[in-house]
Structure 1
């Protein structure tokens, strides 16, 4: 297992329109065929997935700083969404790992709505370790 394999895996998760499940299972199959230690496979895929999805959160945080989006975010219904995210966001992020189709968007949304970084990191850490 080489570092470029982990970088490629992270980039595939971030930019490929194929399901993360397919990408991860394919990579795990490749590593298994090379007889790589299963614990090493788990740790590598966990760290890679954590970093890849953290990048979505950070992109959302970046776009929150754009003046046009910042002005748009002042709407009343978006403030309600921020309150809901503060209340249920950690569970939503953890559950999104296991629901195809919302795994990526929830990380963007959490970043755009300024979800707490500590809560996000903990939820992402726990869910990516189980995933």
Structure 2
């Protein structure tokens, strides 16, 4: 947490931008905690809310675009070789590939909110040669809502943010599991609903 605080106050909006680029690419940056912190510091008046939102958004879309380009240029062997060094295990990559083959561009839209997917989905989109315009539309919209949700959550929580942050750190895996489960249930529901209409 102190590292994030130092990054924000020492390097300002550029620090926020770089941290989000690195986090999306796969560096060990706690993205959600960073965005919540940004919102909280905006609430305290230490950073400007709009500028912080723009910096966070630009960092997110530049990060996932770099991932896409690396995937398109270097392919799956690059991801398998260097992924584990950036918290992207072979198991996680394999699961993400399966999801991407089923959901494709829609996964770019919601992938930011799914643990383990945010850091891989850009690479997979590039590896599969997904049309760049489609990639931009879905991933950039997804990034917008992801950044907006977490930064504004940190801002709105205000004085209660410290206690929420502690709870988030303690129960983050439970939160991730719950959110992932809800998204999975929604996807299954719409899949069978669509399938039922075709019959």
- CA-based RMSD of the aligned residues comes to 3.0
TM-score by length of 1: 0.70
Q: Which moved more, 1:104-113 or 1:25-34?
A: 25-34
- Contact 1:13/1:23 (<8 A) preserved: no
- Distance in 1 between residues matched to 2:76 and 2:22, nearest whole Å: 24
Unaligned runs of 5+ in 1: 67-81
Output the CA distance in 2 between the equivalents of 1:54 and 1:100. Answer: 19
Q: 1:114 aligns with which of 113, 129, 137?
A: 129
**Preserved contact between residue 68 and residue 124 of structure 2 (Cα < 8 Å):** yes
Residues matched between the structures, number: 116
Q: Does 1:90 align with 2:105?
A: yes
User: 1:44 and 1:85 mapped to 2: Cα distance?
Assistant: 28
Deviations 1:1-56 (A, max 9, x none): 34344224422443433442123323444455453221222111111111111111
Q: Which has the higher helix share?
A: 2
> TM-score by structure 2 length?
0.48
Contact 2:19 2:29 in 1 (8 A): no
Partners of 1:58 and 1:4 lie apart in 2 by: 23
Query: How far apart, in 1, do the equivalents of 2:61 and 2:144 lie?
Result: 8
**Structure 2: stretches of 5+ with no match in the other structure:** 1-11, 78-96, 147-199
Q: Is the 8 A contact 1:60 1:109 kept in 2?
A: yes
Residues 55-100 of structure 1, C-alpha deviations (whole Å, 9 max, x = no match)? 111110111398xxxxxxxxxxxxxxx9x96884221111111111
Q: In the aligned structure 1, how far is the partner of 2:140 from the partner of 2:59?
A: 11
Decide whether the 8 Å contact of 2:109 with 2:139 is kept in 1: yes
